[in-house]
Structure 1
Amino acid sequence: MKHEDFATIKKCDSWQELCEKHDNFCLKKGKIWVFRGQKNAAWDLKTTFERLTDIVTDIVKRKNIPSFEFGLLRKFKREFSLYSKRIAKDDDLIEWFSLMQHYGTPTRLLDWTYSFYVATFFALEDIENENESAIWAIETKWLEHKLFKKCSSCKKLLRRDLNLQKKESLKTIINKLVVAKVNPYYVHERLSVQQGCFLFPGDTTQSFLDNLLGLAGTKKELKNNLIKFVVTEKKTEKRAILEDLFRMNITRTSLFPGIDGYAASLKVAAFILPETLKPGTEYREFIKGVVRKS
């Protein structure tokens, strides 16, 4: 299915145009948007678990996908204590899924952020990417309203437990074509600094998009609440955007605290601000006596 069939597409050829279109659509009173950056505008909205099941369809039948997911969950829960002192409550599946997502296990969770600028960074940080990038945006008040309408018999239960921490709440949407916005009660550092949240599809035997369409009811209604900002692939514009984000302190260093984030951030720094990477006296001392090529 083409993205323009179910999402409002906004092409942006500059940083200024991107910001203006974001402001026009996403700063309206009473609306709360969340964002997701993807480096290739042609990519669909897919969870890591959905991508995994696409690969193993030859050995895992569609009807067995739910039990396959819980097999992954069980394996992770049983051995997590070997690597971390932090243990989630056994029945808090959202927190367990969040931990799995954090450490790289495929899950049904799809990462989003409340920050348009963080999403823009994730869309553009791959400086080798030569494709148009995308920043997706979805309106969460609408999402919540549609969820309550779809699960009207459990509306009170869901209102009391929006993050689906209790099994009773979770069971109301499992195997239904719906999507819920969730967050674990105990957030880890990255989720906090990235202003992150998750979208949780109810039926893993169907695609994330099918769950969204099931919730919306029609492509037209989904299109009114789902935007795809398409960002130019031009290197000069990408550099300008990343430099502005750097000045806002939106970098791998700030979004992924620790040496891994800092080390990865130097690649973008070399792309946008090469003049800051001065070799100092170490290079002059090192190069002494080295024979140069004629």
Structure 2
Amino acid sequence: MREAATTWEGFLDQVREARRDLGNPDLVWFRGQAKESYNLLPSLMRHKEGQAKEQILFNEYERSASYLQGKKSDWEMLNDMQHYGIPTRLLDWTEVLGIAIAFALFDSGDDSYDSAIYVLDPVALNKLSGVSGVKRAPNEADFGYKSVYWYGKPFHPNFPIAIDSSLHNERMRAQNGSFTVQGLDDRPLDLQAPSLVQKVTLSSDVKPAAREFLEHANLHPFSIYPDVVGMARHIVRKHLNP
């Protein structure tokens, strides 16, 4: 494991090193996590009865939300559930390092402890499941959420699968977001495929410089969450700086 960098420049060097350790793939995804100790485990798997109640959660949300939002695909419904805090088997990623840093900092609200940035090779991850490239949900007829993850048709993946975020909403476009979808193995992704993901510590020493970078890059809650919730978070942070 890398020793945490104490400077912004050192942190960026470690991100470059992480990409090199993955073989400098053409495509890498980033994920920011508020606490360095957190593993890459979706919210559904963090609940004792999460997997057993996955279908109940989805069906109830679908019934409750359909009259508000109109007809959506299963993948779009799952994306909405993820955004609104209902546990799913999705794990958020982005192609933009700055957005991953923003997630790590916005979710922590505290610079006294270390956070983490994960760097993933999504194409290599999908090869473990015999999948070529990144899946484009919901545009592939043979890759439906319910058919694959509830009924195992045409296959039931063991490893997480990387899916493209062509999920049609402003939040995902603003975040350049994508997902990994947890499979049968309920262990964290970093334990299932340790050679395909690298962890870089965003130390408490580096966080002030990271926040300055976000300010210069105009990355704030409203630019990343372009909705009323993001706007409110941005106003509070701008004027009260919590």
Conserved 8 A contact 1:10-1:228: no
Conserved 8 A contact 1:182-1:200: yes
Conserved 8 A contact 1:161-1:169: no
Distance 1:164 1:194 in 2: 24
The yes-or-no answer on 1:12 pairing with 2:5 is yes
The yes-or-no answer on 1:263 pairing with 2:235 is no
More helix by share: 1
SS at match of 1:147: coil
Q: What is the aligned partner in structure 2 of residue 289 from structure 1?
A: none
Identical aligned residues as a percent: 25
The yes-or-no answer on 1:104 pairing with 2:85 is yes
Q: What is the aligned partner in structure 2 of residue 219 from structure 1?
A: none
Conserved 8 A contact 1:50-1:108: yes
Q: What is the aligned partner in structure 1 of residue 42 from structure 2?
A: 47
Q: What is the TM-score normalised by the length of structure 1?
A: 0.68
1:35 to 30, 38, 59: 30
Distance 1:120 1:166 in 2: 29
The yes-or-no answer on 1:143 pairing with 2:101 is no
The yes-or-no answer on 1:227 pairing with 2:198 is yes
The yes-or-no answer on 1:187 pairing with 2:168 is yes
After superposition, the Cα gap between the structure-2 partners of 1:72 and 1:168, relative to the gap in structure 1 and judged at 3 Å, is closer
Distance 1:168 1:181 in 2: 17
After superposition, the Cα gap between the structure-2 partners of 1:258 and 1:172, relative to the gap in structure 1 and judged at 3 Å, is same
Conserved 8 A contact 1:137-1:227: yes
Distance 2:54 2:210 in 1: 38
After superposition, the Cα gap between the structure-2 partners of 1:127 and 1:100, relative to the gap in structure 1 and judged at 3 Å, is closer
Give, in angstroms, the shift of residue 66 of structure 1. Answer: 4.4
Q: What is the aligned partner in structure 2 of residue 281 from structure 1?
A: none
Aligned length, in residue pairs: 233
Conserved 8 A contact 2:165-2:172: no
One-letter identity of the residue aligned with 1:226: V
One-letter identity of the residue aligned with 1:232: S
Larger radius of gyration: 1
Distance 1:163 1:130 in 2: 46
Distance 1:144 1:124 in 2: 29
1:1-294 equivalence runs, <5 A: 4=1, 9=2, 11-26=4-19, 30-53=25-48, 60=49, 66-84=51-69, 86-89=70-73, 93-125=74-106, 126-148=108-130, 161=140, 164-165=143-144, 171-174=153-156, 176-183=157-164, 185-203=166-184, 206-209=186-189, 213=192, 216=193, 222=194, 224-234=195-205, 237-269=206-238
Distance 2:72 2:32 in 1: 29
Conserved 8 A contact 1:47-1:110: yes
Conserved 8 A contact 1:33-1:140: yes
Conserved 8 A contact 2:142-2:154: no
Conserved 8 A contact 2:42-2:182: no
Conserved 8 A contact 1:113-1:195: yes
Distance 1:207 1:72 in 2: 21
Pairwise CA RMSD of aligned residues?
3.1
Q: What is the aligned partner in structure 2 of residue 286 from structure 1?
A: none
Distance 1:163 1:26 in 2: 32
Structure 1 residue runs without a partner (length 5+): 54-59, 150-154, 217-221, 275-294
Q: What is the TM-score normalised by the length of structure 2?
A: 0.82
Give, in angstroms, the shift of residue 45 of structure 1. Answer: 1.6
Give, in angstroms, the shift of residue 195 of structure 1. Answer: 0.7
After superposition, the Cα gap between the structure-2 partners of 1:166 and 1:128, relative to the gap in structure 1 and judged at 3 Å, is closer
Q: Provide, for residues 214-233 of structure 1, a one-character-per-residue CA deviation record: whole Å limited to 9, x for no partner.
A: xx4xxxxx2x3211110111
